[in-house]
Structures are given as C-alpha cells and as structure tokens.
Amino acid sequence: MKKISPFLISAALLASATAQAQLRVEIAGVGSNQIPIAVAGFADESVAPAQVSAIIKADLERSGVFKVIDAGTVISETASVDYGAWKGRGADALVVGSVQKLADGKFEVRYKLLDTVKGSQLSTLSQGVTEKYTRLSAHKIADDIYQKMTGTRGAFATRIAYVNENRAARDYRLVVADADGEGMQVAVRSNEPIISPAWSPDGGKVAYVSFELRKPVIYVQNLVTGQRTVVSNQKGSNSAPSWSPDGSKLAIALSKDGHYQVYSVNADGSGLRRLSNSNGIDTEPQFSSDGQSIYFTSDRSGGPQVYKMPASGGNATRVTFNGSYNISPRVASDGKTLAWISQRDGGYSLFAMDLASGQELRLADGATEPSFSPNGKYIMYATKGGGRTGLAVVSTDGRIKQRLSTNAGNIREPNWGPFMK
C-alpha cells in the first residue's frame, strides 16, 4: 500500500492556520446559588480586535457559577463607583476596566473587581498584550474573577485538543483551541485516523496516536516548532499515551507481546519499560496527579474494570466494582476524583467517584472519552447528537452542562490542556 503521511504544520503556519468551522457553545444547565455579578463595558475597548468585556461575560456565564448582570454602560477602572446603587441592582460584585492602544501597537488591558456589598476592591490587573492575545487577556481576567469569587483557579485561559474527522473525505485533523472553542488551529492533518491526544504538562506538546503507517503509532508533536517525535512504534499496536506530571515520560499500552500491557517510556522514545504483567488486557493508563500511581483498565477479573498500581509497576488493586464494564479512567488534578465511562442500562455513561469515600455520581449519559479541566471542576467528553459526534462539558457535581458543536464533521477524543504559565 502507498504510504500516506500527515501534513504537519510548521510554527508559522500553526500561528495562522485556523480551522474552518468554529465551535458553538450551548449552556444546558446552571449551578445552584449563582453569584450575581455585573460586568460593565470597558472604556475604549473598540480599539482592540476583540471586545474584552463580552468575552468575560461569556466565560462567566459558561461556567454556570455566575448570574451575569449586564451593566448596560461603560465604566473605566479609574471611575468612581456608587456601590450602593449596584448592590441595589442585585450585584454582589462589579467588573470595570479599559483598553488602551499603545504607541508600539500593543494594547494595555486594565480591570478592577469591586465588592458592592463591602464597598471595597477585590482585585485589579493590568496586562500589556499584542493584538493576537487580546482574547487571552480577557480569559485571564475571567480566571481572576473566578478565583477571587470562588476560591478556585479559573480555567478559561486554558486550551483543549480534539480530533475533527470526516471519514468520507478521509480527512482527520488534530485541532487545538481555546477552552471556549474559539481560536481553532490545526496541529496535525492526515488521511488516516488520529486518536488519543494528550497534552504535556507544560502545554507545549501533544502526544497522539496516528494510523498513517497503517498501524497505531505514538507520536509527540511540538506545537511551537512543529517538530514531531516517534515515541513508540513497537510490533503490534501502540496506543493510549498519558503524560507523567513532570513531563519526563509517558504511560502507554502496547500489544507487542501478544496482548495489551501497560508500559512507560521516556518522552523522547527511550527507556521502554513494562509495568503491568497479567494474563488479561491492560490498557488506557493514566498517571495520578502526584505521579506515584497509574490507573488503568483491565479485564483480569473477567469484564473490564479500573485498577490502580504503583507508577513503577507491581501489584494492582481494583477501584471500580459497580457495573460489569468500566473503562477510560481519568483522575482530577487534585487527586480526589476519578472519572470513567461505565456501560449500564444499555448505554455508556460518565461517572465520577470521590476516591476517599468511594461515593459514585452519574454525570451524563451517552458519553465517551472523558477529560478533566485543569482545576478539576469540569469534565469534557464526547457524545452523539443530531447524527454527529460532538463535545460536551459537565461540572463534577452534575449541575452545570454545556455542549460544543460544529457542522463540519465529527469532533471527538477531547483532551483539556493544563494551566499555562
């Protein structure tokens, strides 16, 4: 057969090449006890290519945590504010700010978060950014608001990776985008399937599996330089890459000895080491947040269940017991919550478990391929609807739900990137 190689986009192209179809975000649920917050228009924000205040509003609304009140006016961070009037309008907090275009062509984005109940300032931030990063500056402000109001770090300024597939056209794209679905860029394009993208802890690389050699091979793609490294091309199948928290190695599943087992390998492809040793199928490894353990799927007890073993290998303990088919384990960044897919009642559902108590919560039906947000508060997953596969997001308490959809092919295999420095 003729070898078909993917089209790898260089750093310059990656900066400018944007996928055709943008994702649409639909909010299907909100959290309880929403925080009422007013967001004013930013003074002179029309000079910037992106409307900063509108992006902040959209982020806060999408979180489901806030009840956003449109201030209906423009207020600079230097203006005097009547706290009592805003409290009277039902706002516990007020967001104000401005945008200034500097002589060097950059933009200075300033904002303040005001507590209308106590009549005081909660936070202030000033960012000097290029035109390209004005949207990012708005996401960072939304992150600051989320953290100051909830005590948890916001994840609006993070990115996601997913696969956009059009099987009829034999077009497969590994796409990276902002967490709100905007700013989509094609990292890898191929005529053969791409699966299992996984962000490196520093957010600069993505590991993935490509079938371009007519078999699954694991690669690492540098998103800045475009450089690609073969991490594992062993005999048989190479699949399911997962990064260690320090970014030095990956846990992978290989079938080179006849059936899938879990291995570790250095990020440059050296140092291959077998970790699991069972007569069953061991696959889908995921490092714990502290790097000390690996969760994985195994059928050693009959049907597939989630197990846990030391990161160096050794004896494994079973984690899931309810249901006869449990796969795709994922662990939150704080190490407290496990998410996985369980086949129950004739379909696949997303579950979450508090690892300390063992208590389970059914979060969504018709779900596959879960991925935690870096703050551990949301889970993105793939789901079918309207004849297409799209992405959805649910909060870990199940109350907040979103759906991300597009008219261009199927989107699946989501992976939520880390916090960026």
Q: Is residue 260 part of a domain?
A: yes
pLDDT at 8: 32
Which of 105, 145, 143, 109 lies closest to 126, judged by CA?
Answer: 109
pLDDT at 49: 94
Please calculate the CA angle 24-27-32 and round it to the nearest 5 degrees.
Answer: 160
Q: Is residue 2 part of a domain?
A: no
Q: Between 377 and 9, whose confidence is greater?
A: 377
Q: What is the average per-residue pLDDT within 253-275?
A: 96
Number of domains in the chain: 2
Q: Are residues 286 and 321 in the same domain?
A: yes
Q: Are residues 252 and 376 in the same domain?
A: yes
Q: Are residues 257 and 368 in the same domain?
A: yes
Phi, psi of 85 (to 5 degrees): -65, -40
% pLDDT > 90, the chain: 85
User: What mean pLDDT value characterizes the chain?
Assistant: 91
The residue range of the domain holding 241 is 7-22+160-416
- Show Cβ contacts of residue 61 under 8 Å, excluding neighbours closer than 6 positions: 27, 68
What's the pLDDT tens digit per position in 47-98?
999 999 999 999 999 999 999 998 999 999 999 999 999 999 999 999 999 9
Q: What is the average per-residue pLDDT within 396-409?
A: 82
Q: Are 14 and 45 in contact (CB under 8 A)?
A: no
For residue 248, what is the domain's CATH number? Answer: 2.120.10.30
Q: What is the average per-residue pLDDT within 89-116?
A: 97
pLDDT at 421: 74
pLDDT at 318: 97
Q: Are residues 115 and 243 in the same domain?
A: no
Whether residue 29 is predicted with pLDDT greater than 70 in this model: the reply is no
pLDDT band for 28, please (50, 70, 90 cuts).
Answer: low
What's the pLDDT tens digit per position in 2-22?
222 332 333 333 333 333 445
Q: Is residue 421 part of a domain?
A: no
Q: What is the average per-residue pLDDT within 202-222?
A: 97
Pairing of strands 35-41, 93-101: parallel
Q: Which of 150, 185, 213 is the last residue of a domain?
A: 150
Q: Is residue 58 part of a domain?
A: yes
Q: Are 418 and 354 in contact (CB under 8 A)?
A: no
pLDDT band for 166, please (50, 70, 90 cuts).
Answer: confident
CA separation for the pair 136, 373 (Å, rounded): 17
pLDDT at 408: 65
Q: Is residue 411 part of a domain?
A: yes
pLDDT at 5: 30
Q: Which of 121, 150, 179 is the last residue of a domain?
A: 150
Q: Are residues 123 and 208 in the same domain?
A: no
What's the pLDDT tens digit per position in 181-199?
899 999 999 999 999 999 9
pLDDT band for 205, please (50, 70, 90 cuts).
Answer: very high
pLDDT at 348: 96
Q: Which of 150, 180, 200 is the last residue of a domain?
A: 150
Concatenate the DSSP letters of all residues of 196-244 into one string: EEEE-TTSSEEEEEE-TTSS-EEEEEETTT--EEEEE--SS-EEEEEE-
201 alpha carbon, distance to own chain's centre:
12
pTM of the model: 0.91
For residue 141, what is the domain's CATH number? Answer: 3.40.50.10070
Burial 331-341 (b: 16+ CB within 10 A, else e): bbbeeebbbbb
pLDDT at 404: 80
pLDDT at 30: 64
Whether residue 399 is predicted with pLDDT greater than 60 in this model: the reply is yes
Q: Are residues 389 and 283 in the same domain?
A: yes
Q: Are residues 168 and 302 in the same domain?
A: yes
Q: Is residue 57 part of a domain?
A: yes
Q: What is the average per-residue pLDDT within 296-314?
A: 96
Q: Is residue 197 part of a domain?
A: yes
Amino acid found at 104: D
Q: Are residues 117 and 184 in the same domain?
A: no
Q: Are residues 118 and 237 in the same domain?
A: no
Q: Are residues 210 and 328 in the same domain?
A: yes
183 to 51, 133, 134: CA distances (angstroms): 15, 10, 12
CA separation for the pair 113, 37 (Å, rounded): 10
Whether residue 299 is predicted with pLDDT greater than 90 in this model: the reply is yes
Q: Are residues 125 and 215 in the same domain?
A: no
pLDDT at 387: 77
Q: Are residues 240 and 376 in the same domain?
A: yes
pLDDT at 307: 98
What the block records as the tokens of 173 is 């794209």
Q: Is residue 300 part of a domain?
A: yes
CA separation for the pair 208, 206 (Å, rounded): 6
pLDDT band for 26, please (50, 70, 90 cuts).
Answer: low
Q: DSSP letter for 133, please.
A: G
Amino acid found at 110: R
What the block records as the tokens of 102 is 């500097």
SS3 421: coil
